[in-house]
Chains A and B, each alone.
Chain A
Amino acid sequence: MTLATTEPAARERAMPMPRRRGLLQRIWHHRHDYLYVLPAIGVMLLVIAYPVYYTVYLSFFSTPPNLALEDKIFVGLKNYGTVLTAESVHEATWNTWVWTIWSTFFAFVIGFGAALALNRAFLGRGLLRGTLLVPYVISAVAASYIWRWIYHSDFGVIGALSVQFGLTERPINFLDDRNNVMASLIVVNVWKEFPFAMIMMLAGLQTVPEQLLRAAQVDGANALQRFWHVTLPHVKGVTLVTVLLLLVTNLNSFTIPWIMTGGGPAGASEIWITHIYQIAFGRIRFGLASAYSVILFIVMMGLGYFYVRALTSGDERTPA
């Protein structure tokens, strides 16, 4: 992306920049191209735009459990007020940030570390790479059930071992304790997600030009300096994309917390999506859940904006 040849860039600087066309003009200019993607746009409107529209529409209505959806009551912005002021939402928001930030941080750090290790040639590298990918390819549902039993507060393997080796008097209470549950779930999530970061970063590391690293070595840079001044700048883009994808994935998490704890105990592992699901399908408040979803959608759009910027950075400098 930063390897654009200097010649056109210099030419660009020398010439006056042409006035950028407006959006409609550009669409008209490329109208034939748009015809090719029209079917795809149609499908997207149906499966993405309409649900988004309907969710926004529904967010202005109350849907009590004794009324059919067609009998919903218009309440304006009341649902948004309810969501923003509810104590349970505040708790879920705090849990969501704890879940998202720590899951993203550890998944990325461990994934990047594994990628750095696997980027070097050594005996059994292929086997290790395959093994490390196992958590990623296992179904999240199956993994959640397995971990639920591993963690089980009475008969879990970890608890049994900790008692057997005299580390604890009683099995450790992972999932039924408000203080431990979130950390326990984050461990499972990181275990499941770090291979994704590993693959992404490994791909990024393999684009770092070998000659630059050698040149730096010849210039006397030690391993840390080479990593800091050569490797890191080269994987900056893929790092940004990976972190953003992890953030979005974690903000949208559902399977692991839902299956392992259902958001409990006493709401200690309730995160946005499980809370929305509970409100919509457990409590049948589709209007309230829609308002909650719209707020989450706005947060996601913010992250999406940075994601697209990260993906397209440099494209705008490419001559049309």
Chain B
Amino acid sequence: MTKSKDKGPFASPVDRRPFMAMTAGAAAAAGLSGKAYAQGSRTGVDPTKWTPEYIKSIAGTENPDTAAECYKVVPKDYKGRLTYWYFGPTQASPQIEHDIDKQFWEAFKALYPNIQVTALNLNYNEMIDKLRTSAIGKAAPMVVRLPILAGVEFAAKNQLMEFGPEMVGHSPQDFWPGALKSVTWKGKTYGVPTNNETMALVWNAGLFKDAGLDPESPPKTWDDLVAYSKQIKEKTGKSGYGMVARVNAGNTPFRFMPQLWAYGGGALDEAEANPTYKSIFVNNEGSRRALQASYDMYVRDKSVPVSALTNTQNENQDPFISGNLGMMIAHPSEYAVMLDRAKKATGDDKKTAEAVVANMRYGLVPAGPARRAIVFGGSNAHVFRPDLVDGGLDVNAAKAIIAFATGPEWSTKMAWVSSNPGNVRGFRTKWMKERIETIKFLDVTTSMLPNGIPFPVVPQATEIMNIIVPNMLQNVLTQKMTVAQASDDAAKKIKELLSEL
């Protein structure tokens, strides 16, 4: 039913140039340590199995019939109404994401012509606030695609319907256990994972060369990253690392928590083998070392953008494409973003941008003394309770969109350049094969999956990750507090927060 259009994104590769030095990703993934194996137990991603080679070998081995699968759940002629909120492509997204989003809605319309859809594409940072308000005002959407961090809060408030993969014809085995855990509260399931991803380290090999660093070798540890950042600043005058420390912005925890976890820290004990979410790690030795590393880069070495305190990741894109930033943590989609920007640039800017794109490399996020870590991110589809939905809930319409969006086809396509399919059957599809063949650096970010650590599954996770942790970071970077004071202050706030339960 979703036959590729001749000039659609699934027929036109993002980039067909031969893979360049192709990063440390594949090699490093093959040599994953025992630590990574232990981490894999938290996400359910077995690092000995989910190697880039394995992913390549299974891609294209399954040809799902999306229409048939969906019609088993909701018949084609079903007539209904659907309200759907999601965080889709923004102005900072590559064009390909806009194209796929458009095709998604066209395909759904073709599949269920009698379901009237009102879809609202919200900014990631606005989504949660608006949803909280609308749920209180009994004007929530029927279905929402929420960041992985946020769903549990709504489940704890009893605002979501019990809704699991089985309700839309999928098996729980089709999803990563770590992803299913993020939709589980007190033993009940409240959603279906749509996509799951881990990010990687992106660097500008040209800037590395100018700074006297090996252009093909990313920093292996966070201590190395601090040193590399300093060297880039000293030798080139450009910012070394794209730190992000804005409060109330999802980008901050996605970039700072890997550092915190790598040094052996955390907000709670989410990085431990069997997290209880009752122990506070934010002021332990590891967390303090991570904070000190950030302090060293921002205050001591001045090797990161001064604007890091007000920046989101979007504000790192322009400095990177203009050759003014050496390293950053990003999705695989960052490459597509840079290609788009290079195409739009003119004159000398175009030459610079093209050089940066050619010099762009992806590698594993640095390890720390405790582990290599990255946020096991993604999003989940949830259904709101009928009494909280404006105009009532149309369960079948909700089932139809979730069956469609979380099936192997569209969970792969909707994650085209930025993520991975939430439904692991997506890895077996021809679309996954096309992704692997056409999207540069995809396997590097996929190689980070076994190092993924999910955010704590507690209702307070949003406040901890988006407010308390970034505030702790800002308190250190502005020298309002010492590292010890800031981490103790954050620990006190988390303790108070947890004691409210």
Contact = CB atoms under 8 A, between A and B. Distances in A.
Given A66-B459, A264-B474, A153 B306 contact: yes
B310 to A, nearest CB: 5
Contacts of B305: 153-154
A192 interface: no
Given A154-B319, A176-B307, A267 B460 contact: no
A171 interface: yes
Contacts, number: 99
Residue in B159, B239, B247 whose Cβ sees the most chain A Cβ within 10 Å: B247
Q: Which of A65, A148, A171, A283 has the most CB of B within 10 A?
A: A65
A64 interface: yes
Interface of B: 129, 132-133, 136, 153, 156-159, 239, 246-249, 305-310, 318-319, 459-460, 462-463, 466-467, 471, 474-475, 477-478, 480, 500-501
18 contacts: A65-B156, A65-B459, A66-B500, A66-B501, A67-B156, A154-B319, A155-B307, A176-B308, A178-B478, A262-B247, A262-B249, A263-B247, A264-B247, A265-B310, A266-B309, A278-B248, A282-B129, A283-B467
A170 B303 CA distance: 13
Nearest to B475: A266
B478 A268 contact: yes
B116 to A, nearest CB: 29
The majority secondary structure among interface residues of chain A is loop
B349 to A, nearest CB: 14
A72 to B, nearest CB: 11
B246 A262 contact: yes
Label chain B's interface by main secondary structure.
Answer: helix
A154 B478 contact: no
Interface of A: 62, 64-69, 71, 148, 152-155, 170-171, 173, 175-178, 260-268, 278, 281-284
Given A266-B471, A267-B474, 10 more contacts: A65-B463, A67-B156, A68-B157, A153-B306, A153-B307, A154-B239, A176-B308, A264-B474, A265-B478, A278-B467
Nearest to A175: B310
A283 B129 CA distance: 9
Contacts of A62: 500
Contacts of A171: 306
B480 A178 contact: yes
Contacts of A65: 153, 156-157, 459-460, 462-463, 500
Contacts of A178: 478, 480
Contacts of B480: 178, 266-268
B309 A68 contact: no
Nearest to A64: B500
Contacts of B309: 175-176, 264-266
A175 B308 CA distance: 10
A64 B496 CA distance: 11
A284 B249 CA distance: 16
A284 B132 contact: yes
